[in-house]
Chain A
């Protein structure tokens, strides 16, 4: 294992301190680093709170700021954060309009946010993201995972919250955006959890993991490396088959790197996915390419497609100013 760290025990704390120092104009670190919160709260606005295991940076703390999240709770690497973190964050950012929890559908995240909601006395709602088509729900009772589509949900909800919408309508919007969003990932290599020191899974030199999750957990099957266009065709076929008729219209295409794949390759995948979507009858109206929902040092990428309408385009285009996403502001 080769990583920039002082020790595996301090890597999370050191990274959070760095984030807070680099973006002091946007965000503040809470006591005991329990949460990252927006520097300037908007009174009367519903507070958007998310969180999850660390190792997916910039998700979620990198999306704290104007037009996106009010707070994010970082767990240990690949480990859901705890209810005390969520309660402290909620108390810090609730300005009276309630708190909306945005939770990726991983059992650890769901259970910890469930416990936090049971202990939170104020108004609250929950939006669960489960955009990963790789998980076939008929077989796996754990359900679909919340992956890179969470970025789309957080961005659009952030814009809607800035408009002053209430808790119930934001929760409904979050469910609508999630339902319009599908993702699928492919890993070319494994990732190494700092405290573990060895790769999470072993993969051959010419092997790929199709349908991988964002912790290096497996997906549909192992395959052999093929040209980018063939991989994108398979991923887009899975996504559009699941989206159904909604895929034959205006869409957002997010090509998300897992941490160790160069942008050069992500743009290769964008071109390939764009072509595959066009053949499927979709028109890519909005796009985003980069490392946003990562898996430490895993090589690979995911494709996310969101079916758009006028409202969702407006919410996507609305100003955002966070450490990792910034436009119009």
Chain B
């Protein structure tokens, strides 16, 4: 599965455009249980990535992912910047230039471990990890139709954060009052997964 510059450009643009298009929805989710800035901040980071798209897309896949991660760290701020930035930076370190599905699953597992360490968190705390981990497991499954399965898995995983009480992030201060709301970080993961799979 060689990932050429045109494809890198298409994937990056699809993911960034999806976040920017859904910024208001993400912000509304964050207003319900956080501080109401997740969509705005992620959109600012994605806009910065698009502004630098010519340079980033020209890099080999690992370098491009690392550059996306650094851009998110430096432009998003809040907790989302370090967390999504760490995710992409570690993907850049772990993915080979031409990954197959199994290599992608292994790299995503390493990136998830890095996110857990950065946020001192794990699954079940109503965070982006609750979408990332099921997606990684689905990616590790050698079924033939993973590109159509993954978005469904990601959407369901994001929706499944609604009944969870938040244990990390600003939403944790709400405790039981966070129940019933989808986690904005998990929703962002689902948006990125769908955009990448459908690009």
Q: Which A residues fall within an 8 A CB radius of B?
A: 53, 75-84, 106-108, 111-112, 114-115, 135, 139-142, 145, 193, 195-196, 198, 200-201, 213, 215-219
Contact = CB atoms under 8 A, between A and B. Distances in A.
Chain B binding surface, main DSSP class: helix
Contacts, number: 103
B27 to A, nearest CB: 6
Given A140-B175, A196-B37, A79 B168 contact: no
Nearest to B76: A82
A111 B35 contact: no
Interface in B149-194: 167-170, 172-175, 177
6 contacts: A76-B44, A79-B37, A82-B73, A84-B74, A114-B118, A200-B31
Contacts of A218: 173-174, 177
B177 to A, nearest CB: 7
Given A111-B119, A217-B34, A217-B35, A142 B82 contact: no
B126 to A, nearest CB: 11
Interface residues of B, number: 32
Contact of A142 (B31, B77, B167): B167
A193 B34 CA distance: 12
A80 B78 contact: yes
Given A141-B168, A213-B173, A215-B170, A112 B37 contact: no
Contacts of A141: 125, 167-168, 172
A198 B77 contact: no
Nearest to A83: B73
Nearest to A195: B40
Nearest to B30: A196
Given A82-B73, A142-B169, A218-B177, A108 B36 contact: no
